[in-house]
Amino acid sequence: MNLWKEFTKGLVAENPIFRLALSLCPALAVTSNVYNALGMGVTVLFVITCNNIVVSAFRNVIHPKVRVPVYIMSIATIVTVAMLTLEAYLPVLFRELGIYLPLVVVFAIILARAEVFAAKNSVIPSMIDGLGMGVGFTIGMVTIGAIREIIGNGSFFGYQILGSWYHPPLIIILAPGGFIVIGFIIGVMNLNEKRKKDKSEKAEMAAGGTI
Amino acid sequence: MTEYFLLFMSAAIVNNFVLTRYLGLCIFFGVSKNYHASTSMGLAIISIITLSSMITWVIEHFILLPLGLYFLKTIVFVVVIAVFVQLLEMVIKKFMPTLYNVWGIYLLLVATNCVILGVPLINSEANFTFIKSTVNALGSGTGFAIALILFASLREKLQFSDVPKSLDGLPIAFILAGMLALAFQGFSGMIPL
């Protein structure tokens, strides 16, 4: 039950992209279509989970003064493993992700989870936390990728879903579109939250009125 | 000479780091609330980017390639840059305390950052010579500083405008960055590389 909570908090409440506004570079750079967004999401899911396991397993051995360099070394090693694997089995995706793949090393979310969670908890909860955050990240990436691909190209996963009548605004899959789409997504999430808060406040007022 | 000038302009304006390649966004949104902070940050980025790309070039060509350790590139670059920035911070703290007070904190902020790691990786991907990598790094740093300062000025103006409640703060900053990127899009294709 408790583990389930660790897992679900990364999905919405502490979603790395929309809530924590961490690791925005990949969220904009590789989300011009769904396939790349999913590939990047799964890579980060793998790296963050493995790194959380490693950090939590060695948390009693690592001296607090040198912890950040140790975490970075660990992340860099795992990223190298992921890169070599992708290069061998999915060379097309590897080329598409290009420079952003080695840059996974410096994604703030991975270091942040190691520092905030894995350094203080045992292996199993850390693994679950990494999985939850990774899945939350992937969901965020795929959402942005889907919106940009459907609006900007009229397709989903490479399949044309909107007919020939649709003239896609190219700007959405170019650089500026990424910024604008993510701005509006965060705006909609804020609006949603406000509405929920208003509703609960109203319910409280109503409850207060009857007593 | 023209070649280097074109490379510089291409890195600074046409392929601007933040606005067309989306690198260094954490700093871009984090520091740009204040105009003065963003100028100091811009200067710190230019100097560190140039120095660290010089160091990583030397390491790549004299250590990694001869020993056949090319696959360790990412790990080595990250560690070297992090160590170098720490060292620079100590030296500045010791010998130039006034300078340290002004932008010492920014040095540590950029130690592990997409921009600083990104430029050496791009240089090594493109197989640039030593001078070319330095020029590219200088251009990229300058481009980052230009974008950061422009954006900080825009955001200061934004404080006086009436923004819809739900878009206030980060969302409107993103949309504004999109507009700035749209302006920079006008430069695309000007320098074929």
How many Å apart are CA B111 and CA B26, to the nearest integer?
A: 13
Alpha-carbon distance A166 to nearest alpha carbon in chain B (angstroms): 23
CB contact under 8 A, A105 and B171: no
Q: Residue A60: pLDDT above 70?
A: yes
Alpha-carbon distance B184 to nearest alpha carbon in chain A (angstroms): 9
**Portion of chain A with pLDDT greater than 90, in percent:** 9
The residues, any chain, with a CB within 8 Å of residue B66's CB and separated by 6 or more, are none
Residue B73 with chain A: CB contacts under 8 Å: 102
Q: What is the pLDDT of residue B103?
A: 67
Which range of A13-22, A130-139, B5-14, B88-97 scores highest in mean pLDDT? It is A130-139
How many Å apart are CA B62 and CA A174, to the nearest integer?
A: 38
What is the torsional sign of CA B139, A94, A115, B29?
positive
Q: What is the pLDDT of residue A63?
A: 83
pLDDT band at A211 (very low <50, low <70, confident <90, very high): very low
Q: What is the average pLDDT value for chain A, to the nearest integer? A: 82
**Portion of chain B with pLDDT greater than 70, in percent:** 93
How many Å apart are CA A46 and CA A78, to the nearest integer?
A: 9
Q: What is the mean pLDDT of residues A134-162?
A: 83
Q: Residue A21: pLDDT above 70?
A: no
Residue A83, classified by CB atoms within 10 Å of its CB into exposed (0-12), middle (13-18) or buried (19+), is buried
Q: Which amino acid is at B167?
A: L
How many Å apart are CA B42 and CA A144, to the nearest integer?
A: 29
Q: Residue B113: pLDDT above 50?
A: yes
Q: How many domains does chain A have?
A: 1
* CB-CB contact of B16 with B25 (8 Å): no
pLDDT band at A208 (very low <50, low <70, confident <90, very high): low
Residue A102 with chain B: CB contacts under 8 Å: 73-74, 117, 121
For the CA atoms of B157, B160, B163, B165, what is the dihedral angle to 10 degrees?
130
Q: What is the pLDDT of residue A173?
A: 78
> What residue numbers bound the domain in which A186 lies?
3-210
pLDDT band at B187 (very low <50, low <70, confident <90, very high): confident
Q: What is the pLDDT of residue B80?
A: 86
Q: The tokens of B171 are what?
A: 């969302």
Residue B72 with chain A: CB contacts under 8 Å: 80
How many Å apart are CA A69 and CA B73, to the nearest integer?
A: 16
Task: Tell me the ipTM for this assembly.
Answer: 0.79
Check CB contact of B30 with chain A, cutoff 8 Å: no
Q: What is the pLDDT of residue A207?
A: 67
| Closest to B52 (Cα-Cα) out of B32, B77, B33, B31 | B77
pTM for this prediction: 0.82
Instruction: Match 């020939």 to its residue by tokens.
Output: A164
Contacts with A, B 89-118, CB within 8 Å: 112-114, 117-118
Which range of A15-19, A71-75, A165-169, B81-85 scores highest in mean pLDDT? It is A71-75
* CB-CB contact of B152 with A151 (8 Å): no
Identify the three-state secondary structure at position A186.
helix
* Beta pairing partners, A156: A159
The model's pLDDT over A168-182, given as tens digits with 9 standing for 90+, comes to: 777 887 878 888 888
